[in-house]
Amino acid sequence: MKIAVLPGDGIGTEIVAEAVKVLQVLDLPLEMEQAPVGGAAYELHGHPLPDSTLNLAKAADAILFGAVGDWKYDKLDRPLRPEQAILGLRKHLGLFANFRPAICYEQLVGASSLKPELVAGLDILIIRELTGDIYFGQPRGRRTAVDGLFPGADEAFDTMRYSRPEIERIAHVAFQAARQRGRKVTSVDKANVLETFQFWKDVVTEVHAQYPDVELQHMYVDNAAMQLVKSPKSFDVVVTGNMFGDILSDEASMLTGSIGMLPSASLNDRKQGLYEPSHGSAPDIAGKGIANPLATILSAAMMLRFSLQAPEAADRIESAVKSVLAAGYRTPDIWSEGTQKVGTREMGDAVVAA
Ligand code: NAI
Ligand code: MG
Q: Write out pLDDT tens, residues 255-290.
A: 888 889 999 999 998 889 999 999 999 999 999 999
Residue 264 to residue 344: CA distance in whole angstroms? 19
Ligand nearest the Cα atom of residue 286: 1
At the fourth CATH level, the homologous superfamily of domain 104-263 is: Isopropylmalate Dehydrogenase (3.40.718.10)
**pLDDT at 81 exceeding the cut of 90:** yes
Domain boundaries defined on the chain: 1-96+268-354, 104-263
Collapse the DSSP code of 269 into the 3-class scheme (helix H, G, I; strand E, B; otherwise coil) and give the result: coil
List pLDDT tens digits, range 217-252.
Answer: 999 999 999 999 999 999 999 999 999 999 999 899
Helices (H), the chain: 11-24, 39-45, 51-59, 83-93, 116-119, 164-179, 195-208, 221-230, 242-255, 294-306, 311-326, 344-353
- Reported pTM: 0.92
**pLDDT at 336 exceeding the cut of 90:** no
Pick the CATH number of 1-96+268-354 from 3.40.50.1260, 3.40.718.10, 2.30.30.40, 3.40.50.300: 3.40.718.10
Q: Is 345 annotated as a binding residue?
A: no
Question: Are both 1-96+268-354 and 104-263 of the same fold?
Answer: yes
CA of 304 to the centre of ligand 2 (A): 23
Average pLDDT over residues 77-94: 94
CA of 169 to the centre of ligand 1 (A): 29
**pLDDT at 80 exceeding the cut of 90:** yes
List pLDDT tens digits, range 127-186.
Answer: 999 999 999 999 999 999 999 999 999 999 999 999 999 999 999 999 999 999 999 999
List pLDDT tens digits, range 2-42.
Answer: 999 999 999 999 999 999 999 999 999 999 999 999 999 99
Pocket residue to mutate for ligand 1, from 53, 74, 279, most atoms within 8 A of Cβ: 279
Pocket residue to mutate for ligand 1, from 243, 281, 334, most atoms within 8 A of Cβ: 281
* Ligand 1 touching residue 286 (CB < 6 A): no
* pLDDT for the residue 186: 98
For atom 32 of ligand 1, the residue with the nearest CA is: 69
Q: Is 283 annotated as a binding residue?
A: yes
List pLDDT tens digits, range 101-129.
Answer: 999 998 888 888 899 999 999 999 999 99
* Ligand 1 touching residue 281 (CB < 6 A): yes
Torsion, Cα of 21, 24, 25, 28 (10° steps): 150
List pLDDT tens digits, range 307-325.
Answer: 999 999 999 999 999 999 9
Residue 65 to residue 57: CA distance in whole angstroms? 10
Average pLDDT over residues 44-73: 97
CA of 245 to the centre of ligand 2 (A): 8
* pLDDT for the residue 112: 84
CA of 70 to the centre of ligand 1 (A): 9
* pLDDT for the residue 84: 95
Average pLDDT over residues 301-308: 96
Average pLDDT over residues 64-86: 95
Phi/psi of residue 124, nearest 5 degrees: -120, 160
For atom 16 of ligand 1, the residue with the nearest CA is: 260
DSSP state of 76: S
**pLDDT at 254 exceeding the cut of 90:** no
Q: Is 292 annotated as a binding residue?
A: yes
Q: Is 250 annotated as a binding residue?
A: yes
Q: What ligand 1 atom has the least distance to the C-alpha of 250?
A: 2
Residues assigned a catalytic role: 135, 190, 222, 246, 250
